[in-house]
Amino acid sequence: MNVAIRSGTAACWMALLGALPALAGETVLSFSGTDSYVDLGMPQVLQRPSDSPMTVEGWVFLNAVDSRDMLYSKNSGRNTSGYTHMFGFYENGRIAAFTGTTWREPSPAVTVDTERWVHVAFSFDGATLTYYLDGEPVGTAAFNYNNVEANTVKLGGYTGGTDIDGMKSEVRVWDYARSGAEIARDWQHRLVGNEPGLIGYWPLNAGEGT
């Protein structure tokens, strides 16, 4: 799949990943925080029917936090056709997901640290979203979404206010709600790429090309 990397005031570049023993010495994708994201287009495999179970997960390193810092999203940049969903952080680093109309987060709220690698996962079973941080569950919330086929999928958000200032690695999308045991088993290592239920996989460690 060819993808477009959108960059604003600073380019997206590769950086050495040395903070994680499981991924040490590999490259990761770095984002400027200003209008920088990976645009995946509208692949059919990621057109999940409204409220279908799914799991989104990945590694994130935040240099700083903003009002919105997205790991993964499916939306229209100007909301001309409505949002589908967004998964990441809001209100300065609180783990959260967007239903298309409302932000949902665990209670009590969970805020991530900056300047360190964290693994975040969102497992949705069709009614409830379970949040995970570094392989451990940190809460749940009622969730729903309405798929808009015209929305593009992005690793990141869509504007300077939703794109991260930092790095990402090993972003994954599954077509079912992964269990806590599955997330705990796999969060610290790379996948093969053909695991059952895996419908989107971006190691972000190529270093060059598309």
Least confident range from 4-18, 57-71, 105-119: namely 4-18
**Do the beta carbons of residue 60 and residue 164 sit within 8 Å?**
yes
Q: Are 126 and 53 in contact (CB under 8 A)?
A: yes
Is the model's pLDDT at 3 over the cut of 70?
no
The 3-state DSSP composition of the chain as helix, strand, coil percent (nearest 5) reads 5, 45, 50
Average pLDDT, the chain: 86
Rounded CA gap, 94 and 202, in Å? Answer: 24
Q: Mean pLDDT throughout 82-107?
A: 94
Contacts of residue 176, defined as CB under 8 A and 6 or more positions apart, other chains included, come to 53, 54, 55, 197
Give the model confidence (pLDDT) of 140-167 as tens digits: 999 999 999 989 999 988 776 788 899 9
Q: Rounded distance, CA 83 to CA 150, Å?
A: 10
Name the pLDDT band for 23 (thresholds 50, 70, 90): low
pLDDT over 60 at 9, yes or no: no
Mean pLDDT for 102-107 is 96
Q: What is the CA radius of gyration of the chain?
A: 15
pLDDT at 4: 45
pLDDT tier at 25, thresholds 50, 70, 90: low
Do the Cβ atoms of 141 and 128 come closer than 8 Å? yes
pLDDT score for 78: 59
Global pTM value? 0.89
